[in-house]
Amino acid sequence: MASDKVKTVTDGNFDSETSKGLVLVDFWAPWCGPCRRMAPTVDELASDYEGRATVAKMNVDDNPDVPSRYAIRGIPTLLLFKDGQLAETIVGLQSKEAIVATLERHL
Amino acid sequence: MSHGRVVIIGSGPAGLTAALYTARANLKPTLVEGLEAGGQLMLTTMVENWPGFRDGIMGPDLMTEMRAQAERFGAEILQSTVTRVDLSRRPFTIGLGEKRELQADALIIATGASARWLDIGADRRLSGHGVSTCATCDGYFFRGKPIAVVGGGDSAMEEAIYLTRFASSVAVIHRRDSLRASKIMQDKAFANSKITFVWDSEVADITASDKGEVTGLVVRNLKTGAQHTLPVDGVFIAIGHTPNTSLVAGQIELDANGYIVTHDGSRTSVPGVFAAGDVQDHIYRQAITAAGSGCMAAIDAERYLESLAVPSSVHETADGVGATGR
C-alpha cells in the first residue's frame, strides 16, 4: 500500500523535483527484499513530514541515469537533498528512528 | 506494559519455528521481528536444501509461509525492534524503542547473525558504491562488469554463481588454497566459465574513483606477500557472520566469538532464557538446523513454564484461590 504522499521521481523530473527544500529520495527496485521491507517506513515518513520535507522514490530499474550520477551501486539507498544539494547518503536497510534522526538534523 | 508467557526475539527460521510451536502449545507467544525481518533467507534466491520442496523454494517465499503459519496458530508478530533486555529480574523486560516494553516469563533469543565486513575501513566506506554483502540486492548494478567475491564457503560460492548472471567475470578471492564450501557448490563454481579463483590471498585495500565508486582491489598473496591490483567494479564480501548478541552481552554467557552458549538443548546460563538458530550456532548454520533448534527452544520453554506453574499453584492453594487445583 504505497502512500500517495510519496512522490515518484524519474530521470526526467529528478532535478526539478529535488531543487527546493528538503527532499528524501528512496532508491529501490521491486526485486530488492530490503527495499520492500523499508517501503512502509518511507510511506510513514511521507505522512509524518508532510509540509516539512518531500519524500520521493526512484525505481532504479526504470531510471539508470540518476543512480549512476550519484554512484549508487547498492539499494536501498536514501539520498537527502537540501535545495538541490546532496546533504546525506544513507546506505542499506534503516530503522525509522535512524532516518528521522538524519532528517531532523537538516530541518 | 504487556506481560506474556513467551517472547521471541528474531524472525528467521529459528524464531518463527519457536513461535509456531509455542503458539500451538497455547502459550500465546509474542515475536518481535527486528529490522532484518525474515533473517538471512530474505537475501537468498532459490533454497534447494529445505526438505519437502524437491524443486527448491525461494528464500523470501519460505519465510512468508513460515510467518503466516505461526500467525495462523495465534502468534502475535510485532514489526518492531528490541532495543534492550533486562534478564536480571523476573519477569524479563524487553524494551521496544524508547517507550514500549514487554514482559515475559520465558524468553527465546533467535536474533541470528549478520554478515561480517573485512575490517579494512574502505569496505564500510564504499558500502553501496561497489562494496556489498548482498548479491541478490546489488548484483543488478554490475551488468557486464568485472567483480570479485571474497570468501571460500557455501555463501561465497552461492553469491559467485548468482553474480555470473550479471557480471562479465567473477574473481573469487580466498585466504586458502582450497574451498571450505560443500562439494556440490564447489563443483558448480568450478564448472562456471565466468568464475576464476585467486588463492591464498586477501584484500588489502579497495580503490575508488573521485566519485567514490569502486575501481579495484589491492590483493595480497599471503604466502609470498606480493601485492597486485585487480580491476573490478564491485566486490561482494562473504567471509562469514557475527552473532547478534549485543542485546544480551554481559547478561548471559557468550563464547569467545560472541555466540550464546547453550546446554541441555536450548538452555542458556539464565534459567528461562533459551537460544535458537545462528545466534548460538557457528557450526551448522542451516535454515533447517535453525528451525530445528527453534522447535527445541519452544519445547524447552514450555517445560520451563510448566515447572514454574507447580509452586505457584501451591501458593494459590494456600491463599484459598484455585483450591481445586489444575
> Could you tell me if residue B325 is inside a domain?
no
Interchain CB distance below 8 Å, A34 and B214: no
Domains of chain A by residue range: 7-105
Among B105, B123, B138, B278, the active-site one is: B138
- Determine contact: B132 vs chain A, CB below 8 A: yes
Asked casually if ipTM beats, i.e. exceeds, 0.85, the reply is no
Chain A positions in Cβ-Cβ contact with residue B44 (cut-off 8 Å) = none
Coil, helix or strand at residue B183: helix
The pLDDT of A33-43, averaged and rounded, is 90
The verdict on B248 and B103 lying in the same domain is: yes
The verdict on B98 and B183 lying in the same domain is: no
Chain B positions in Cβ-Cβ contact with residue A77 (cut-off 8 Å) = 128
Q: Which of B237, B270, B304 is the last residue of a domain?
A: B237
Distances (CA, A) of B121 to A98, B126, B205, B206, B232: 22, 9, 9, 9, 18
DSSP B73: T
> Could you tell me if residue B324 is inside a domain?
no
The verdict on B248 and B221 lying in the same domain is: no
Write the CB contacts of B142 (distance below 8 Å, at least 6 apart in sequence).
A73, B163, B166, B167, B233, B234
Amino acid of residue A41: T
Amino acid of residue A70: Y
DSSP A96: H
To the nearest whole angstrom, how far is the Cα of A23 from the nearest Cα of chain B? 20
The verdict on B133 and B277 lying in the same domain is: no
Backbone angles phi, psi at B162, to 5 degrees: -60, -40
- Determine contact: A91 vs chain B, CB below 8 A: yes
Coil, helix or strand at residue B248: coil
Q: At what angle do helices B59-72 and B13-24 cross, to 10 degrees?
A: 20
Q: Which of B237, B266, B285 is the last residue of a domain?
A: B237
The verdict on B47 and B129 lying in the same domain is: no
Interchain CB distance below 8 Å, B137 and A74: yes
Least confident span in A28-32, B147-151, B266-270: A28-32
Closest CA to B78 of B65, B61, B95: B95
Q: What is the pLDDT of residue B222?
A: 97
B110 pLDDT more than 50: yes
Rounded CA-CA distance B7/B18 in Å is 10
The verdict on B224 and B135 lying in the same domain is: yes
Q: Is B150 exposed, middle or buried (0-12, 13-18, 19+ CB in 10 A)?
A: buried
Interchain CB distance below 8 Å, A33 and B136: yes
Closest Cβ opposite residue A75 in set B43, B97, B138: B138
Chain B positions in Cβ-Cβ contact with residue A71 (cut-off 8 Å) = 129, 211-213
Tell me the β-bridge partners of B249. B252
Rounded CA-CA distance A8/B144 in Å is 28
Residue pLDDT, tens place only, B212-269: 899 999 999 999 999 999 999 999 999 989 999 999 999 999 999 999 999 999 999 9
Distances (CA, A) of B68 to B9, B14, B190: 17, 15, 39
Q: Strands A7-8 and B201-208: what pairing?
A: unpaired
Interchain CB distance below 8 Å, A77 and B128: yes
Tell me the β-bridge partners of A81. A23, A86
Higher pLDDT, B48 or B299: B299
Chain B positions in Cβ-Cβ contact with residue A92 (cut-off 8 Å) = 127-128
Q: What is the pLDDT of residue B264?
A: 96
**Grid coordinates of B234:** 564491485
Closest Cβ opposite residue B129 in set A35, A71, A94: A71
- C-beta separation of A27 from A58 below 8 A: yes
Least confident span in B34-43, B162-171, B182-191, B317-326: B317-326
- Determine contact: A21 vs chain B, CB below 8 A: no
The verdict on B199 and B295 lying in the same domain is: no
Please, what is the average pLDDT of chain A?
92
To the nearest whole angstrom, how far is the Cα of A94 from the nearest Cα of chain B? 7
B121 pLDDT more than 90: no
Q: How many domains does chain B have?
A: 2
Q: Strands A77-82 and A85-91: what pairing?
A: antiparallel
Reported as a pLDDT band with limits 50, 70 and 90, residue A26 is very high
Closest Cβ opposite residue B129 in set A31, A35, A73: A73
Coil, helix or strand at residue B201: strand
The verdict on B111 and B127 lying in the same domain is: no
Rounded CA-CA distance B48/B58 in Å is 9
DSSP B256: T
DSSP B260: B
The verdict on B226 and B87 lying in the same domain is: no
Interchain CB distance below 8 Å, B128 and A72: yes
The verdict on B10 and B110 lying in the same domain is: yes
Chain A positions in Cβ-Cβ contact with residue B97 (cut-off 8 Å) = 97
The verdict on B103 and B10 lying in the same domain is: yes
Q: Which of B237, B255, B280 is the last residue of a domain?
A: B237
Residue at grid coordinates 512522490: A7
Residue B324: Cβ within 10 Å count: 5
Closest CA to A85 of A5, A25, A26, A12: A25
CATH number for the domain that contains residue B197: 3.50.50.60
Q: What is the pLDDT of residue A2?
A: 54
Residues 223-252 of chain B whose Cβ lies under 8 A from any Cβ of chain A: 233-234
B138 is catalytic: yes
Q: What is the pLDDT of residue B172?
A: 98
Q: What is the pLDDT of residue B42?
A: 87
Half-sphere exposure of B147 (CA within 13 A, CB side): 33
Residue at grid coordinates 541478490: B136
The verdict on B220 and B310 lying in the same domain is: no
Rounded CA-CA distance B47/B179 in Å is 21
Write the CB contacts of A64 (distance below 8 Å, at least 6 apart in sequence).
A11
Provide the domain limits for residue B173: 122-237
CATH for A7-105 is 3.40.30.10
Chain A positions in Cβ-Cβ contact with residue B142 (cut-off 8 Å) = 73
Closest CA to B211 of A80, A67, A27, A94: A67
B181 pLDDT more than 90: yes
Q: Is A93 exposed, middle or buried (0-12, 13-18, 19+ CB in 10 A)?
A: buried
DSSP A105: H
Question: Which of B79, B140, B145, B147 to mutate to probe the A interface, most A CBs <10 Å?
Answer: B140
> Could you tell me if residue B189 is inside a domain?
yes
Half-sphere exposure of B114 (CA within 13 A, CB side): 12
Q: What is the pLDDT of residue B310?
A: 65
Which residue of chain B is at minimal alpha-carbon distance from A28?
A: B137
DSSP B141: G
Please, what is the average pLDDT of chain B?
92
DSSP string over B170-229 = EEEE-SSSS--S-HHHHHHHHH-TTEEEE-SEEEEEEEE-TTS-EEEEEEEETTT--EEE
- C-beta separation of A83 from A20 below 8 A: yes
